[in-house]
Amino acid sequence: MTKLSLRTAAAAAAALAVLAPAAACSSKSAGSTGGDAKNAKIAFLMPDIASTRYELYDAPLFKAKMKQLCGGCSVLYQNAGADASKQQQQASSVLAQGVKAIVIDPVDSAAAASIVRMAQSRKVAVIAYDRPIPAAKADFYVSFDNEKIGAMIGQSLVDHLKQAKAKGGILEVNGSPTDAAANLIKKGIHSAVDPSGFKLLAEYDTPGWEPAKAQDWVSGQISKFGGQIAGVVAANDGTGGASVAAFKAAGKPVPPVTGNDAELAAAQRIVNGDQYNTISKPIKIVAEAAAEAAYELVKGDEPKPNATLFNTPSQLFTPTVVTKDNIATVLLGPGGALKASQVCTAEYAAGCTQLGIK
């Protein structure tokens, strides 16, 4: 067992010890109706700030939808800052404050199983969000289809390299090894890259999705493989941006690099020609679906799944690959996640003009 696993296990045990008496005394369930549902507290526990999406989009959108569904409900938002032990403590804290449901995007998918068990022992519903929790059955799971995301970015890159008659191999920059969603993305990537005919030069599981660690690794591969790198399939925009930065720091031409999350910086890199693709998965869709699922469970109803993943009823959505060819309509068009005024700052104005973005 790793040191991290020992720390998170200890934190979970401590939390369970504190909460066990309260669990034994609690007679109300997450499915209670009436005043409890109308004035329920619902926790929204996010994993990190390395990705800007949680602070800028997920939390505000979730809160807004909950307010629409239940004017008397309140949302307790916490961000664990990529610390699994901290997320355990945050879960303990919101349970002590009497939440009726927890929506959690886990830092460590294995460690989060104890949070599921801890909450359910107090009859508090758990909605896994974005990242699944394989070792414990949450009450519901809401996400875009992560395995499909990996397959889509990988296949998009492979098709582009073949069209360009590129020579060489591919680097694969995966997400965190403790994130079950990252493992699904990785599986999807391999389904596209392995039979592609392009050699997989090397791959790396990025601890905590930290861009700095991804950049360090890619820098080392540039030194090792030199001009043999035809493309980089990176599992999200943070690791994709880090890959781009590594090539620029080495003074080397940037090969096609993938991403995922459609962050503003990624959109600008695509406009500028530095990043080949990203994935549009409108956060509004999953944030609102999670709010609806949480409120259904608080009322004692069952949200409607369209899939089952890790034995958990799930609602999975299909994303869209974004490249230069469709960024104007998918990300910047009517109803898009970003505005042209955000993307097309002075540094990127020429690229926007070239793509007809106004």
Q: Is the pLDDT of residue 284 over 60?
A: yes
Share of the chain above pLDDT 90, in %: 85
Tokens matching residue 11: 């934190």
Pick the range with the lowest mean pLDDT from 3-7, 132-136, 173-177.
3-7
Q: What is the pLDDT of residues 77-111, one digit of tens each?
A: 999 999 999 999 999 999 999 999 999 999 999 99
Please tell me the predicted confidence (pLDDT) of residue 53: 85
Give this prediction's pTM.
Answer: 0.82
Q: pLDDT class for 15, splitting at 50, 70, 90? A: very low
Give me the residue label for tokens 């079950």.
180
- Which structure tokens are listed for 144? 């875009």
pLDDT tens-place string over residues 194-253: 999 999 999 999 999 999 999 999 999 999 998 999 999 999 999 999 999 999 999 999
The closest of 156, 157, 130 to 144, measured between CA atoms, is 130
pLDDT in tens, 333-356: 888 889 999 999 999 999 999 999
Plot region of 54 (φ>0 → left; ψ -120 to 50 → alpha; else → beta): alpha
* pLDDT reported for residue 24: 34
DSSP letter assigned to residue 52: T
Sheet strands side by side (includes 169-174):
200-205, 169-174, 229-234
Burial string for 135-145 (b: 16+ CB within 10 Å, else e) reads ebbbbbbbbbb
Grade residue 28 by pLDDT with cuts at 50, 70 and 90: very low
Residue 32 has pLDDT above 60, yes or no: no
Which of the pair, 299 or 33, is modelled with greater confidence?
299
